[in-house]
Amino acid sequence: MKLKAILSAMVLLVIGVLFGAMLVSGFGLVRPGLADIKLGAESSPVPIDAEVSSFGQAFIETADKVTPTIVQINVVSERGTGSHDEFFYFPFKDLPKEQRGSGSGIIISSEGYIVTNNHVVENANKVVVALYDKRRFDAIVVGTDPLTDLAVIKIDTKDLPVAYLGDSDQLKVGQWVMAIGNPLSLASTVTAGIVSAIGRGQLGLIKDSYGVENFIQTDAAINPGNSGGALVDLSGAVVGVNSAIASSGTGTYIGYGFAIPINLAKAVAKDLIAHGKVSRGYIGINIGEVDDAIAKSLGMDRPRGIIIQGILENGSASEADLRPGDVILEIDGREVDAPNQLQSYVAAQTAGTTVTLKIFRDGEELERKVTLKKKDDDSKTEPASDNSKENTERKSNVSSATFDNIGLTVKNLNDRDRTDFNVDHGVLITEVKPFGKADDQRLFAGLVIVEADRKKVDDVNGFSEIVKGKKGEALLLNVIDNKGNSRFVGLEIPE
């Protein structure tokens, strides 16, 4: 009986100890020492090899070396508050009501010269530069170039860290790049992405017919305040000047940014520093893209080059045996397949420079040398046709005609039309069928067709005969608007 009582007591004691331990630990009153705490797995699940480590180190070193060469620019400007209803948005364009704003800049000289965007310092009353080391300086605007959206400012100091300016012509789509600047007043911000495209044009960012749009597109995040900052490759070379972003209307980044190629920026900056303005040369032509229809109508094997739509009076081209309808294939040995490629190259040249053009004309490739001139603001475009005032006999039994297979209706010109368009021949487009072939080639009512298949168009009958003769082929049209602007259009005529 005594043994049974002892055993019962021992069982109760063990149960009590166990229950007490559970109770105490459940309330968190018993804690392990710091030395006993081990968190996480003992090794990384994916070992980092030397190649991956080196790749990551490239970003680190680039950011470390380039960031001190990027400055923040604070501006008091005369410009009022803008709007946010444009898809393509300059990250600084909209200034607060108190007319203050901030952007970025790249130090390009130890003597204090800094390149930035024109829209950052445009109409500025006061410009203050904040360096990476927190020093601040008042700056002067050395010069601006609205046609490229570039500007140079200067601060009075020396021995500044200078950015290395690379070669944007060597940039490739898919290449890693980093955007460095001061977005949303967040100083020294670094983002990374790839080059999404090169040679982006026709974005409508520069509101001037002579504006140069040849942007590098990147998906590295760029936001307001990044304007004028650097787009750099992984060697730390600046390849572009950040300028604009794609926006859904808020002014903030939604996926793509645009940068001005550094080769263009270097040429403009040198001119601004030397002269305070850009002494740019011009060929003196209006140009357009060669699409498949135009290429076929000209007898080209494939779409390439850019077509001369018109020649400027007294311009360089008018003295160099260039003609409307010529296709420029190369400039100084560089192939050009889009208008902005030619514009960007020429924009980097000064007046007086001679360039060599390879052109396609009447089935032959020819070479022409052109000495660039300064732009004459009073120059007028010479239409691509012969618009002499000689009286011509107009005999026509048909006053209008509709071509259902291309979706086009034309009529003979009356005296008022000839006066309004300053022409003595042609047919007026009165209707273009939506989604038809003519509509696809951006023809519309209110244009005059002055040439077809390189032949002068006198009336509807003559035009009809030319169209009939080109069935199953491409027809080259030369059209003119009521402002005297002419262009070539390729139109495929069904069988």
The tokens for 370 are 């052109």
78 burial via Cβ count (<10 Å: 0-12, 13-18, 19+): exposed
Given the residues 77, 102, 168, 227, the one annotated as active site: 227
CA angle 175, 181, 183 (to 5 degrees): 115
3-state secondary structure of 204: coil
Helix, strand, coil percentages (3-state) for the chain, rounded to 5, are 20, 35, 45
Q: What is the DSSP string of 422-487?
A: T-SS-EEEEEE-TTSHHHHTT--TT-EEEEETTEE--SHHHHHHHHHTTTTSEEEEEEE-TTS-EE
Identity of the residue numbered 57: Q
Question: Which among 316, 329, 320 is positioned nearest to 290, based on CA atoms?
Answer: 329
The whole-angstrom separation of Cα 192 and Cα 243 is: 16
Q: What is the DSSP string of 177-197?
A: EEEEE-GGG-SSEEEEEEEEE
3-state secondary structure of 371: strand
Find the length of the chain.
495
The whole-angstrom separation of Cα 385 and Cα 454 is: 9
Given the residues 77, 104, 145, 149, the one annotated as active site: 149
- Positive or negative, the CA dihedral 271, 272, 275, 279 is positive
CB-based contacts of 165: which residues, under 8 Å, 6+ apart?
108, 237, 238, 262, 265, 266
Q: What is the DSSP string of 294-352?
A: HHHHHT-SS--SEEEEEEETTSTGGGTT--TT-EEEEETTEE--SHHHHHHHHHTSBTT
What count of other Cβ atoms lies within 10 Å of the Cβ of residue 120? 30
Assess contact for 104 and 42: CB atoms under 8 A: no
CB-based contacts of 50: which residues, under 8 Å, 6+ apart?
none
Alpha helices in 71-169 (DSSP H): 118-121
The tokens for 59 are 């970003």
CA angle 357, 201, 219 (to 5 degrees): 130
119 labelled catalytic: yes
The tokens for 107 are 């130090």
Q: Which stretches does DSSP call E strand in 91-169?
A: 100-107, 113-116, 124-130, 136-145, 150-155
Given the residues 77, 102, 104, 119, the one annotated as active site: 119
Assess contact for 136 and 130: CB atoms under 8 A: yes
Give the active site residues: 119, 149, 227
